[in-house]
Chain A
Amino acid sequence: MVFQSWYFILFLLGLSVAQNFLLPTQRWILLLLGSFFFYSLTGWQPAILLLFTISITYGSALWLSHEKQQNRRYKILLLSVTTQILLLSAFKYLGFFNGLIEGISDWMQSPSWVQLPQLMLPLGISFYTFQSMGYVFDVYYNIRKPERHFGHYALFVSFFPQIQSGPIGRSKEMLPQWKSIALPQWEMVRMAMMLFIWGILKKFVIADRLGIYVDEVYDAPQQFSGAVWILILFLYTIQLYADFSAYSDMAIASAQLLGIQLPENFLFPYKANNITDFWRRWHLSLSGWLRDYIYTPLLFAKKKWKKWAVVYAIAITFVICGIWHGPKMTFVLFGIVQAVLLIFEMQTKDWRARLSNRLPHWIYQPLSIALTFVVISFCFILFRAEGLHEVKAIFSRLSCWDYASTLDYLKEKNGSVLFGLFAMLGLFLLVDEKISSVIRNQKENPRKLGIYFSIMMVVILIGMVLGKEQFIYFQF
């Protein structure tokens, strides 16, 4: 059941109305039932697995709270985290190992000696595993006490608006909300409606429209010239943001309608003026999780190494970030490239500061934003390509500046349509922040909000592209 379906909207409205008949302290029951019903639509096996993860982490946290000895606490943490990683690996990474075994067998020119079973990837497993693992870390580091209410904890892990693709919630922000769920005021409902519609616009008018152009070129990488490829790299960068932020907005809006606040996931990432800044704005819930539970502990563990401790922590964190996205070498490489870029920025911090002082702000700022956008667009080749062979093919095409085929492409696509597309994207990037701030402001003039809402509805009705229901991040 995807967010933009009528079934989901009816399901959400049904729950929202039904909440009125329950006391604030009882509403979690309805949300938990709704969440398990929602997740069970993907099959009973994934629901059992989810329940298993909930039980394991719930039990681990309680066990941790009873244990005073640091050594034993560490062992409990290790046991809990290992179990979860093994579970995640079994569903997500067995295919990767099969590929590795096949590769070695090919290289040794001998038949594959073992074939690991290929399991179906349960929806949202990477997200809820990290969310529940984060909770166990919180209890281990004494950031919070363990949740004793199993129902509240189960809802924290399985809450349906976020289970498919996040935002990855944090226990200290989420768990207290279940105790007493207040019904949202009209201003909040209106804001949620606006946010949901803004998400639909980003998904159907921008992301899916760009997807038509991007998919065509990625499906036949050898047929297009370097200039077309550069255009497509930029389009994909915007498509990915529009698609994922659309999902996040719809998740946040759905939760708001039920009286729950989810964390924000994006902070206008293409306004970043360097890669470090980009990671402070992109997929905030994941980057925050990695910072708090991987980067910071690693940094403290190796603080004697001084500057090298940072390099070490960045490298490990971003390789994990890459692997988290999926069992492909391209993702691992994506993580490594990000780590290299961040370390480079760390090393050149003083030099860049001097440069920014020398150049006028109106030159340095747009230039650094544009450069960051270009670098990120090239990095996302690793995100979108099917494998390293495709990455190689794309880079070989990027050096091939065949003007005739570029002109053919522009002609076939109709220059005016492409111009309109770029005008739309420019407008989107310009107004994104403005619209986001207006629709999140509960005190905004209702008539002004109504006009915004109507404009968004009309843009959706006229400009929507149908046919792709899934969000890009569902694959993770």
Chain B
Amino acid sequence: MKHALKWLSWIFLITAVLYISTLFCLCKIQYNRLPLFYLIMGDYAAPNGGHTYHASLDWNDTVHFDVVVLGASRAQRGYSTVLFDSLGVKMFNMGTPSQSLLNSRILLEKHVQSKNVKEIWLDVVPGLFKGNAFESTSDLIQNWSPNKTALTVAYESKDARALNLWMKRLFCSNSMEQEGKGKYCGNGYVEVNASLDSKWKTEFEAGNFGKETKGFVSFSSEAIDELERIILYCQSENLKIKLIASPITVFSNRWDQMKMNEIIQPIVVKYNIPFFDYSNRTEWNTLTDFYDEKHLNASGVRKFNLDLWKSMSSHQ
């Protein structure tokens, strides 16, 4: 037993030293102006920077906001902080690409309390219920401040790759500017001012949509539990929470959408929270209001946000 403990302590020490020094070298030695890290871990790590990094710099725990938006890329590019500001609503958009419900909860618990925020809007899409998407974990670990939040995201993902990314965060500076899709407009909102791209336009004109006969997403019970945990956290912090399903294109899988609504309806009834469902509304035009198969463009966002605000005002 004594031998075993001694040997295990020895390998633990050696492994830790070797691991940290290897990652240090991989982050510091560059090839083609990029750290070697990306040559090995390029399948899940992207150079630091981008919209999430900007949003993180804009966020301040001591500044008060009326609304914080959470969700994936459709949230990040679908709720204009500029427009809501003009309507007298101080909003911060905390949406990040592929943000899972687990990561939404971590951001919420780490940064949002009743003293700095009044209301949470959670943008729900079927993809959120797939489980934990590593794209979102990777993005948040590399770009979201402070280190503590990034560490929590890494820990909660229960994935060894997250540890590498967190270590990389310590060794690689986050100064590189990476261009993401669209223009960063402040307080987390990213605007894409473009019409439907040619690939989807061709598909639309060829009528290649609405033919699916089954759903694509396998809804995970862990993700559904996370949604309930988010609601419970808001209730314990006296934060209002609203669920919103933003407008979709004709390319969206209607089976997944139906399945998601079947999951959400009992939850909103159980906790008595409002649910604004735009996924079944027909006034949004795939050709003019979206720039790809699922994201609203700037004019679509404007139309949606104004309508949403009107609905919310009348609901209150």
Contact = CB atoms under 8 A, between A and B. Distances in A.
Nearest to B23: A462
Interface stretch (A231-239, A370-378, A447-455): A447-455
Interface in B12-50: 14-15, 18-19, 22-23, 26, 31-32, 39-43
Interface residues of A, number: 24
A464 B108 CA distance: 30
A463 B42 CA distance: 11
A420 B4 CA distance: 36
Contacts of B159: 466
Nearest to A187: B3
A455 B18 contact: yes
A216 to B, nearest CB: 12
Nearest to A420: B39
Interface string A319-336: 000000000000000000
A462 B14 contact: no
A462 B43 contact: no
Given A446-B7, A450-B14, A465-B43, 9 more contacts: A186-B4, A189-B4, A450-B7, A450-B10, A453-B11, A453-B15, A461-B19, A461-B164, A462-B26
A284 B14 CA distance: 36
Contact of B160 (A416, A451, A464): A464
Interface of A: 186, 189-190, 212, 414, 416-417, 420, 446-447, 450-451, 453-455, 457-458, 460-466
A451 B7 CA distance: 11
A454 B11 contact: yes
Interface in B115-173: 134, 159-161, 163-164
Interface in B167-217: none
A101 to B, nearest CB: 27
Contacts of B19: 457-458, 461-462
A176 B130 CA distance: 48
A342 to B, nearest CB: 40
Contacts of A414: 39, 42
B11 A450 contact: yes
Interface residues of B, number: 25
B163 A461 contact: yes
B15 to A, nearest CB: 4
A360 to B, nearest CB: 39
B268 to A, nearest CB: 33
Contacts of B164: 461-462
A425 to B, nearest CB: 14
Interface string B233-275: 0000000000000000000000000000000000000000000
Contacts of B3: 186, 446
Nearest to B1: A186
Nearest to A6: B158
A190 B7 CA distance: 9
A416 B163 contact: no
Nearest to B10: A450
Smallest CB-CB A-B distances: 9 pairs: A454-B14, A454-B15, A450-B11, A457-B15, A458-B19, A458-B18, A453-B11, A450-B10, A454-B18
A471 B26 CA distance: 30
Nearest to A465: B43
A189 B134 CA distance: 34
Which of A189, A190, A462 counts the most chain B CB atoms within 10 A? Answer: A462
A340 to B, nearest CB: 40
Interface of B is mostly: helix
Which of A414, A461, A463 counts the most chain B CB atoms within 10 A? Answer: A461
Nearest to A450: B11
Contacts of B15: 453-454, 457-458
12 contacts: A186-B4, A414-B42, A416-B31, A420-B39, A454-B18, A457-B15, A458-B19, A458-B22, A461-B19, A462-B26, A462-B40, A463-B40
A464 B39 contact: no
Given A451-B14, A457-B15, A457-B19, A462 B41 contact: yes
B136 to A, nearest CB: 15
B21 to A, nearest CB: 9
A465 B40 CA distance: 10
A458 B11 CA distance: 11
Contacts of B18: 454-455, 458
B32 A416 contact: yes
A466 B161 contact: yes
Nearest to A190: B7
Contacts of A455: 18
A461 B168 CA distance: 13
A462 B22 contact: yes
A461 B14 CA distance: 14
B11 A417 contact: no
A52 to B, nearest CB: 33
Contact of A420 (B7, B23, B40, B134): B40
Contacts of B161: 464, 466
A453 B11 CA distance: 7
B58 to A, nearest CB: 32
B226 to A, nearest CB: 20
Nearest to B42: A417
Nearest to B41: A462
Contact of B39 (A417, A454, A465): A417
A196 B274 CA distance: 51
A457 B16 CA distance: 10
A274 to B, nearest CB: 37
A329 B274 CA distance: 58
Nearest to A460: B160
Contacts of A454: 11, 14-15, 18
A446 B134 CA distance: 38
Contacts of A446: 3, 7
Contacts of B7: 190, 446, 450
Given A416-B32, A457-B19, A461-B19, A447 B160 contact: no
Nearest to A416: B39
B32 A461 contact: no
Contacts of A466: 134, 159-161
B72 to A, nearest CB: 20
Nearest to A447: B10
Contacts of A451: 14
Contacts of B40: 420, 462-463
Contacts of A417: 39, 42
A400 B134 CA distance: 38
A106 to B, nearest CB: 25
A460 B41 CA distance: 12
B246 to A, nearest CB: 29
A71 B238 CA distance: 85
A379 to B, nearest CB: 30
Contacts of A416: 31-32, 39
